[in-house]
Amino acid sequence: MRVKDRYVRGFLAGAIGGIASFIVNGGARLLGISTVMWLELMGLIIFGYLPHTAGQYIFALAIQITFLGILGGAFAFILPLLSSEHIWFKGASYGATIWFAFFSLPHLLQLPELKEIPLPTAVANVSAAVAWGVALAFALDRLGSDPRK
C-alpha cells in the first residue's frame, strides 16, 4: 500500500505500532511483570486518576493509539533528515527516547500514583516503547518511507 502524504503515513504507522506496544504492555501486565501500562499513564493525564472502568480503559487506549499516531507523524518528518537506512534501529531508538521523555512526566509533574515504578514495570514499558518504535519503522517502511517525499 502506498500512502502519498508523509504525515498520514507516519500517523498510520504510529497507530499500528501502538497496537504492538499495547500487546507487549498488556502481556506484561497479564503475566504480572508490570504494574502500570501506558494507557494508565494516559488515563492519569486525561482523568486525573488511573482508569477504573472498562470505558475509561478503552478511551485511554484510543487516546494512546492516537497520540502514538501523532508521534509517528513526527517521526516521518524527522526520518528524511536522518535517512531511512537502518530504519529499524532508528525506530527503536525513537521509541526508547519517547518512553524516557514521557515516563519522566510523573516525576516532573509530581504525580504520586506513578512516583515509584518497580524495575520489572520499567523494563516492560521500555520494551513496549522499543516494540512500538520497531513496529512504527516496519509499518512506515511498508507504507512507503521514501525520505524524498
Three-state SS at 110 = coil
Instruction: Quickly state the pLDDT bin for 18 (edges 50, 70, 90).
Output: very high
pLDDT of residue 143: 86
Alpha-carbon distance 131 to 45, whole Å? 23
DSSP 84: S
CB atoms within 10 A of CB 97: 12
Average pLDDT over residues 85-113: 82
- Which of the residue ranges 1-15, 25-39, 74-88, 93-107 has the most confident prediction, judged by mean pLDDT? 25-39
pLDDT of residue 146: 56
Are 20 and 137 in contact by the 8 Å Cβ rule? The answer is no
Residue 116 has pLDDT above 80, yes or no: no
pTM of the model: 0.86
Instruction: Quickly state the pLDDT bin for 102 (edges 50, 70, 90).
Output: confident
Cell of residue 126, nine digits: 521500555
pLDDT of residue 149: 46
